[in-house]
Amino acid sequence: MEDILKVENLQIHFPVMKGVVFKKQVATVKAVDGVSFSVKRGETLGVVGESGCGKSTTGLALMHMLATTSGRILFEGQDVTSFTRDQVKQFRRRVQMVYQDPYGSLNPRMKVRDIIGEPLEVHGLDKDREKYDQRIAELLRMVGLLPDMADRYAHEFSGGQRQRIGIARALALEPSLIVCDEPVSALDVSIQAQVINIFKSLQKRLGLTYVFIAHDLAVVRHISDRIAVMYLGRVVEIASRDDLYKAPKHPYTQALLSAVPVADVDAERDKERIVLKGEIPSPLRIPSGCRFHTRCPAAMDKCKTQDPAMSEHGGGHAVACHLYA
């Protein structure tokens, strides 16, 4: 299968300005600082990391919603970062986003029909009202809702139902790729599994590709084919789901995984939990050398000065850590 998406050394830096009249740049926030990965057509890449690691900023850049500092984002071979307005409009038909907050991302005063139909209107696909209504009914059915819910308002629905409406809206233009930014983290655990199952069945039916962003390795496990772990603006490990869960290499991935509960009660009791020191550093002051060295339980002297490069260890399993150089 070919790559539908390729991200090459993506950097997104924000200047920090000071002064009212004469503004002066005093620092730089390196939100995304050299991210590379690729996604094959029809697969799901999970992107995981703590809050502030740059995963959502990366997601917005994939959608052409943020200016990039450098690097390339290739969608079907074309560099999204240099698209014109017209190209962006066409691109929006192929790439859509599902947002984290099903409460904030849907206007509560709009009818479901208008929410789901908005992308169709923007692209002038609402002129034939009969076809338009049929499409709204079909989209509602695809996400497990009833067509007669189209005339109700978003505020009348539960969180899980609202996220289904958000998914239906994302599907309206028949995209190939959907960027899902923490789409279940605002939902109750019992509802999360239902929504993940909807994503999975839609993928099977429509051949969709997902970039699935989450802060929790437990969530991405059930949907991802491969997983990229991000720390402070970089991908530090990327592997197939099975490789990552069975044999995580990076000390950060090992720590994240040690916090994921396992179903077996005995295994859960005997499991060693790796507790990381301190908080994730500010992207304003990225540590020298390996950016994880201030929290890493395996840090060595050279980790303070030498930035580890990504090295490949078979089967597409790559890690940025001196332990494996």
> Which residues of this chain interact with ligand SF4, rule CB under 6 A?
250-251, 290, 292-293, 296, 298-300, 303, 308, 321-323
Nearer to ligand SF4 by Cβ, of 173 and 299: the residue is 299
Residue 231 class from Cβ within 10 Å (0-12 exposed, 13-18 middle, 19+ buried)? buried
Q: How far is the CB of 309 from ligand SF4 (least distance, A)?
A: 10
Q: Residue written as tokens 């509960």? A: 261
Nearer Cβ to ligand SF4 (164/317): 317
Rounded CA-CA distance 308/42 in Å is: 31
Nearer to ligand SF4, 162 or 250 (CB): 250
Q: Report the nearest approach of ligand SF4 to the CB of residue 308 (Å).
A: 4
Residue 17: HSE in the Cβ half-sphere, 13 Å Cα cutoff = 7
Q: Which of 54, 17, 22, 18 is nearest to 36 (CA)?
A: 54
Indicate the residue among 230 and 290 with the shorter CB distance to ligand SF4: 290
Least CB distance to ligand SF4 at residue 323 (A):
5
What is the smallest separation between the CB atom of 292 and ligand SF4, expressed in angstroms? 5
Please report how close the Cβ of residue 296 comes to ligand SF4 at its closest, in angstroms.
Answer: 3
Residue 68: burial class (beta carbons within 10 Å; 0-12, 13-18, 19+): buried
Spatial separation of the C-alpha atoms in residues 101 and 277, rounded to whole Å: 30
Q: Which residue has the tokens 């929504």?
A: 195
Question: Among residues 165 and 235, whose Cβ is nearest to ligand SF4?
Answer: 235
**C-beta separation of 29 from 52 below 8 A:** no
